[in-house]
């Protein structure tokens, strides 16, 4: 496995591969790998000749009060996990390489980024779309793999690729959970044991909603009335949002007619967690 830090070296290698007609798969990450990341790499391994995993904690997707500085990092451990999965290249550019002095071009995906996390993190998806477009240009992938854990990010990047005619297939892969239901996240490391116990109520509420919908419940109001008491716990959970949205447009809906996503974001202590689930009414 090669580690590449230089942007030009990465692009030169990618263009050489493409010149030979070979396929490149990219898994973009911010590192501090867990089984959710590894599941994307395992899938990506099967989709092309070369698997590139980027590790870059992207400053332009963090707001000024957010956790950029304390975002967890363990580069050596990430490299050994990636090697075990059969990653060919870890691409780990530095911040000044990605955003040199004078950088001033950003890409904004509009409608699908307005609600959900976009409402409380106004510059987040602009940063995500910009860095992913840069990574696509540097790594030249035909396939890019993302997790449904960040469902709004996945929809945003599918829209980016469609709107800008990018020759990349964006693939979404299932959310990986702990045995007890907690969605795997690099930020889970910040949770105390008591906070982790409170955080479980997020996935439990989503599972309950999935079961209610499977039994025919279509009404957002009745779903939310059933779920809201589940978020009362100690230490407390501060809900940022609980939203029922159309799976494609991410617009809020009050009745489930087709594929719907129930999405939640909440603060548990100092840690912001997100989770979501597909709701299907038979
Ligand atoms: P991150 O390093 O948190 O930016 O995540 C990198 C990629 O891994 C994104 O496409 C995420 O959606 C995905 N990912 C993060 N957590 C999970 C999870 N629990 N299950 C599946 N994919 C995940």
For 211, the token pair is 């079961």
Q: Where are the domains of the chain?
A: 2-173, 186-277
Q: Is the CB of 124 under 6 A from ligand 1?
A: no
Catalytic site includes residue 50: no
11-30 pLDDT tens trace: 999 999 999 999 999 999 99
Using the structure block, give the residue that is written with the tokens 């809906």: 253
Nearest to 231 by CA among 270, 261, 198: 198
193-207 pLDDT tens trace: 999 999 999 999 999
Res 145: pLDDT = 99
CATH 3.40.50.620, applies to 2-173: yes
CATH 3.30.1300.10, applies to 186-277: yes
Nearest to 200 by CA among 240, 162, 231, 241: 231
Question: Which of 150, 184, 190, 271 best tests ligand 1's pocket when mutated (most atoms within 8 Å of CB)?
Answer: 150
Q: At what angle do helices 35-45 and 75-85 cross, to 10 degrees?
A: 40
208-245 pLDDT tens trace: 999 999 999 999 999 999 999 999 999 999 999 999 99
Q: Is the CB of 134 under 6 A from ligand 1?
A: no
Question: Which of 25, 29, 33, 174 best tests ligand 1's pocket when mutated (most atoms within 8 Å of CB)?
Answer: 29
């Amino acid at each position: 496995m090669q580690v590449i830090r230089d942007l030009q070296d990465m692009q030169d290698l990618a263009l050489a591969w493409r010149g030979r007609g070979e396929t490149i798969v990219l898994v973009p990450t911010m590192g501090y790998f867990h089984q959710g990341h590894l599941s994307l790499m395992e899938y990506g391994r099967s989709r092309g000749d070369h698997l590139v995993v980027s590790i870059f904690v992207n400053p332009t997707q963090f707001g000024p009060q957010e956790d950029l500085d304390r975002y967890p990092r363990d580069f050596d451990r990430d490299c050994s996990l990636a090697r075990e999965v059969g990653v060919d290249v870890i691409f780990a550019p530095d911040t000044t390489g990605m955003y040199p002095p004078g950088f001033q071009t950003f890409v904004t995906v509009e409608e699908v980024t307005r609600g959900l996390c976009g409402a409380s993190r106004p510059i987040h998806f602009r940063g995500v779309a910009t860095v992913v477009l840069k990574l696509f240009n540097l790594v030249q992938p035909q396939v890019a793999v993302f997790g449904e854990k960040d469902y709004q990010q996945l929809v945003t990047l599918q829209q980016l690729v469609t709107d800008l005619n990018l020759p990349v297939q964006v693939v979404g892969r299932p959310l990986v959970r702990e045995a007890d239901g907690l969605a795997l996240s690099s930020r889970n490391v910040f949770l105390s044991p008591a906070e982790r116990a409170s955080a479980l109520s997020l996935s439990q509420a989503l599972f309950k909603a999935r079961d209610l919908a499977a039994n025919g419940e279509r009404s957002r109001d009745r779903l939310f009335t059933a779920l809201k008491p589940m978020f009362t716990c100690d230490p407390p959970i501060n809900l940022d949002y609980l939203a029922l949205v159309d799976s494609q447009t991410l617009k809020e809906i009050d009745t489930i007619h087709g594929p719907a996503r129930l999405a939640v974001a909440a603060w548990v202590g100092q840690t912001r967690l997100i989770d979501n689930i597909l709701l299907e009414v038979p």
